[in-house]
Amino acid sequence: MTEKAAAIAVKKANGRYYTPAWIVGEMLDMAGYAGPSILGRHIMENSCGDGAFLAEIVRRYCVAAAESGKSKAACRADLQEFIHGLEIDAAEHAKCVGSVSAVAAEYGVFGVDWDIGCADALAVTKYNGKMDFVVGNPPYVRVHNLSNYSGVKRFGFAQSGMTDLFIVFYEIGLAMLNEGGTLCYINPSSIFNSVAGAAARRHFVTERLLTKVADLKHYQPFKATTYTTIMTLSKRNRKDELEYYEYNAPTGRLAFMSNIRYDSAYIDGSYYFADNASLSEVKRILRRNPPRGVFDVKNGFATLCDSFFIGDLGFSDYTIPIVKASTGRVSACFFPYDKDGRPLPYEALTKKPQIKNHYERHAGALRARSLESPDVWHVFGRSQGIKDVYKHKYAINTLIRGKGDIKLTPCDPGVGVYGGLYILTEESYDVLKQMLFSPGFSAYVKALGKYKSGGYYTFSSKDLLKYLDYKHSERNGYCNEQQCILDRT
Ligand SMILES: C[S@@+](CC[C@H](N)C(=O)[O-])C[C@H]1O[C@@H](n2cnc3c(N)ncnc32)[C@H](O)[C@@H]1O
């Protein structure tokens, strides 16, 4: 491994993405670490890297100390007593100590014996119950990249799903807080709905800890393909609502949006954030259980080799028209199946010389796919969508920014769909259009919070089915006792 590759591997294993200064400032403000009240209060950054938070913390402390008339010697003693850090990587740890020393020196404070340890924060318990503030950007390391898997799995927040190290940092951070302490972290917004985050989400709400959420939405402060959120938890909190903020692109800052009650944002174990009216609607959509069977929503074909099966094939035997759900474009698809969706034998198909030739030219790519049925290499990679070819359906795309991006394409029996979803229903095109081209549908998709690059949002077949079932029952007045109670709450 080259030196550069080794450095990248260490960076990945330690989940190292550094926080920009403006976010550090916003987070310390959100936590309440500002002004003269910070004097004599303990603060910990437990995965401090090269000291993004600690540098600003030291700056704020030195300013507050000077303004309150503290001597340089008293300020040095305070920095040693009240500012704490942990970092597992020796090189980053050394950079951090250098960085905070440089900030203190700007304020004439020298020779600080910092309480910044080079250690695995998961194994450190000496700060438990003592911190007024815990802040930071904990490491994002998925379970399959963790070197210390068993050390992580012993934590209560790490029991379900494919856990991530940052979730465990919530548990150790909360343990470090004293009875009135406040924690503020920035981390992936997957914590809103991942299986791995379920125990943490429940704990934050049932213990009334969650006080502020800032959803950075499509803004990605780190050069990683992850969307992020800032969450503040306070052990002093007694309310069952939180302050909700969003990243505001024109100002490049966080903007307060609204106060949201826990029971509006916490729906069936996941967190949803939007305006209160959209959240009520989302809750009704997700909770309603209307009579099923009017709609079905499924994924289109997955050939796993579109260049072989779809496009300008040069022959027409065994082909069907196919709609690309993401664009509505129609092309030709080689469909090596009978009317019941059973694969046709290779020998039968290749009696046609052009088809034989086509297979021979692409055999390598076809065999290299990760196939659902490894022995049948000459058909689609997955069987999804195949049995519905001879039904009437509507293709629909899954990436939208608003209703203007929705592509709903009617498909006659005999037409295939790929590159998105399709809806099976007896309802008319006009009825479907009324349901989907409404502001309600885009608001619902946005509130699901599944961000994609370019300002887009996505949704799954299940999400769409829930919406259609809800809209259908709303139009037809279905309401069982439980749902009516829910609608009134
Ligand atoms: C996402 S970076 C954040 C660094 C810094 N807090 C910032 O915001 O710029 C996470 C840091 O956690 C460190 N780290 C990873 N695992 C750790 C552990 N078990 N204990 C302490 N630090 C750890 C990494 O080396 C990395 O510097």
Name the closest-CA residue to atom 7, ligand 1.
18
CA of 139 to the centre of ligand 1 (A): 5
Domain co-membership, 134 together with 258: yes
Q: For residues 275 and 258, is the Cβ–Cβ distance under 8 A? A: yes
Give the pLDDT band of residue 105 (cuts 50, 70, 90).
very high
- Asked if residue 283 belongs to a domain, the reply is no
Name the closest-CA residue to atom 24, ligand 1.
14
Domain co-membership, 255 together with 303: no
pLDDT at position 10 over 70: no
Q: Which of 140-144, 338-342, 375-379 has the lowest mean pLDDT?
A: 140-144
Domain that holds residue 44: 3-273
Q: For residues 165 and 140, is the Cβ–Cβ distance under 8 A? A: yes
Residues with Cβ within 8 Å of residue 484, at least 6 apart in sequence: none
- Asked if residue 269 belongs to a domain, the reply is yes
Greatest distance between any 2 Cα atoms in the chain:
93
Task: Tell whether ligand 1 has an atom less than 6 A from the beta carbon of residue 19.
Answer: yes
Q: Where are the beta strands (DSSP E) in 100-209?
A: 115-118, 131-136, 177-188
Kind plus residue range of the DSSP H or E element containing 242: strand 241-248
**pLDDT at position 382:** 96
- Asked if residue 279 belongs to a domain, the reply is no
- Mean pLDDT confidence for 201-228: 92
Residues with Cβ within 8 Å of residue 180, at least 6 apart in sequence: 132, 234, 235, 236
Number of domains in the chain: 2
Domain co-membership, 368 together with 268: no
Say what the pTM is: 0.86
In eight-state DSSP terms, residue 142 is B
Task: Tell whether ligand 1 has an atom less than 6 A from the beta carbon of residue 47.
Answer: yes
Task: Tell whether ligand 1 has an atom less than 6 A from the beta carbon of residue 346.
Answer: no
If DSSP codes are grouped into helix, strand and coil, which group holds residue 30? Answer: helix
**pLDDT at position 489:** 47
- Asked if residue 487 belongs to a domain, the reply is no
Domain co-membership, 344 together with 238: no
Domain co-membership, 315 together with 421: yes
Residue bearing the bigger pLDDT, 217 or 475: 217
We report the CATH number of the domain holding residue 88 as 3.40.50.150
If DSSP codes are grouped into helix, strand and coil, which group holds residue 168? Answer: helix
**pLDDT at position 205:** 97
Nearest-atom index, ligand 1, CA of 45? 6
**pLDDT at position 11:** 57
Domain co-membership, 241 together with 378: no
Question: What is the residue type of 196?
Answer: A
Radius of gyration from C-alpha coordinates of the chain: 28
Domain co-membership, 267 together with 405: no
Main-chain dihedrals φ then ψ at residue 182, nearest 5 degrees: -125, 135
Domain co-membership, 243 together with 107: yes
Task: Tell whether ligand 1 has an atom less than 6 A from the beta carbon of residue 228.
Answer: no
Domain co-membership, 68 together with 206: yes
Q: For residues 300 and 416, is the Cβ–Cβ distance under 8 A? A: yes
- Asked if residue 281 belongs to a domain, the reply is no
Domain co-membership, 198 together with 330: no
Q: Taking phi first (over 0 means left), then psi (-120 to 50 degrees means alpha), and beta for anything else, what does residue 279 get?
A: alpha
Give the pLDDT band of residue 9 (cuts 50, 70, 90).
low
Domain co-membership, 7 together with 118: yes
